[in-house]
Amino acid sequence: MDKIVIAGGKPLKGEVMISGAKNAALPILAATLLTPGLHVLTNVPNLADIRTAKKLLANLGVQFTDLADGLQVDSTGLVSWEAPYDLVKTMRAAVLVLGPLVARLGKARVSLPGGCAIGARPINLHLKGLEEMGVRVALAHGYVEASVKRLEGAEIILDFPTVTGTENLLMAATLARGRTIIRNAAQEPEVSDLAKFLRAMGARIEGIGTDVLIIDGVRELQPASHRIMPDRIEAGTYLAAAAITRGEVTIRQAPVEHLTAVIDKFLETGLKLKVEKDTIHVRPGGALVGVDIKTMPYPGFPTDMQAQFMATMSLARGVSIITETIFEKRFMHVSELRRLGADIVVSGNQAVVRGTKTLQGAPVMATDLRASASLVLAGLGAQGQTEVHRVYHLDRGYERLEQKLSALGANIWREKA
Ligand code: EPU
């Protein structure tokens, strides 16, 4: 298996361009299933998860054509309504086909995702919402079997603002009979990006960006074109890379309006940065100080930035208390960061990070996407050589990571096994 090797300890310097958001592209690709025709998506990142999504949709009968600056998606002839175990187990976001398939075909068979590295991650709220819209849901042989004659609008109150759950229900509701109200909806910008694509398809949605989504179902939708929003987590990760190496980095095409909680926390650490339209300039400065964070649904501090912030705090002055409230097992990176010399103690859903002066390079093992990113960051800030194993986790969600970091002057390369 490939590994990424980093000779750390060098401040980054230069410019980096942010790619399209994985977590917006995935539901938008699924949304093309809602109606037959030719859709055009631009700014789709080239990532392993996107390739998995394309494989999943191709299995259902969707055809893809690469365009000069985008992707044409032909969702005309669906030949299946099943998301098989093999694909769902590699990427949980595969459950996003459930809502659109039920809405278009009145049936879907989707493998139940099991637990994963960061938590149990059930989909009970997706299913409960669909049942409220009249869908019959049965669990058989590890699969969810859903069927309905015509979806009925409903008032759905989510117990928790689940991101993909909100997306599944939103997509289903666009073709339901009557009005659906989703309360306590996830307000993540990726949900809004999906809603904008659905609107371009002719869906009637109000409350985009709020926790109450009101959807008036329509009889049919039309294919549409859409530019995927930039990836706020990728932008935040490069912000952390600049911070941990005390670098001087310009981050371009950053969705700064969706990074407020992250930027505010970095400012609190003493990081010197300036925001200008869609650009973040990080300037070199003195030592950073420890700052506490607590992960929350948007607009709070994102769980997808927790591991990267922790890596940065491991080299700050003083103590940082990191509280994870979204996923129950999202501290898998802690033991690996400790192998690099970080001083971190975990108790329940809190990690206490006591900043150290230096980290030392070592071989480490990636466990999930954002955990892997935190190890790369720690490697960039460490003295000596760090090897990050199991890089397929990184390939799922970071486009051309080594190339982008190399262009910023990092000594980083991939070694084939
Ligand atoms: N939950 C339930 N029941 C449900 C759905 C969720 O109990 O039916 C719980 C989960 O177990 C978890 C919490 O609710 O404890 C939040 O989960 P959510 O459903 O919001 O997460 P998700 O939709 O599965 C998306 C992102 C994740 C990101 C989370 C939280 C996509 C494709 N994935 O997952 O992204 O961490 O929202 O913001 O959008 C990543 O990119 O690295 C990643 C893991």
Residue nearest ligand 1's atom 10 by CA: 121
Q: What is the pLDDT of residues 58-92, one digit of tens each?
A: 999 999 999 988 999 999 999 999 999 999 998 99
Q: Which residues pair with 205 in a beta bridge?
A: 215
Assigned fold of 2-19+230-416: UDP-n-acetylglucosamine1-carboxyvinyl-transferase; Chain (3.65.10)
Task: Cite the DSSP H helix spans in 340-400.
Answer: 369-381, 392-397
- 107 pLDDT higher than 90: yes
CB of 214 within 6 A of ligand 1: the answer is no
CB of 329 within 6 A of ligand 1: the answer is no
The pLDDT of residue 119: 76
| Catalytic residue positions, numbered | 116
- 259 pLDDT higher than 80: yes
The pLDDT of residue 117: 76
Q: How far is the CA of 92 from the centre of ligand 1 (A)?
A: 9
Residues of the chain with pLDDT > 70, as a percent, come to 100
Residues of the chain with pLDDT > 90, as a percent, come to 93
CB of 160 within 6 A of ligand 1: the answer is yes
Assigned fold of 22-227: UDP-n-acetylglucosamine1-carboxyvinyl-transferase; Chain (3.65.10)
Q: Which two tokens stand for residue 263?
A: 């930027």
- 248 pLDDT higher than 90: yes
The pLDDT of residue 352: 98
The mean pLDDT value of the chain amounts to: 96
Query: What letter represents residue 52's amino acid?
Result: T
**What average pLDDT does range 27-43 have in this prediction?**
98
Q: How far is the CA of 164 from the centre of ligand 1 (A)?
A: 6
Strands (DSSP E) contained in 94-236 are 107-111, 136-140, 143-147, 155-157, 179-183, 204-206, 212-216, 225-227
CB of 46 within 6 A of ligand 1: the answer is no
Angle among Cα 312, 314, 318 to the nearest 5 degrees reads 110
Question: Which ranges in the chain are annotated with CATH 3.65.10.10?
Answer: 2-19+230-416, 22-227
The pLDDT confidence band at residue 286, using thresholds 50, 70 and 90, is confident
The pLDDT confidence band at residue 115, using thresholds 50, 70 and 90, is low
The pLDDT of residue 382: 98
For residue 185, the SS3 value is coil
Q: How many whole angstroms separate alpha carbon 53 and alpha carbon 31?
A: 12
Q: What is the pLDDT of residues 378-392, one digit of tens each?
A: 999 999 999 999 998
The pLDDT of residue 118: 77
Q: What is the pLDDT of residues 231-246, one digit of tens each?
A: 999 999 999 999 999 9
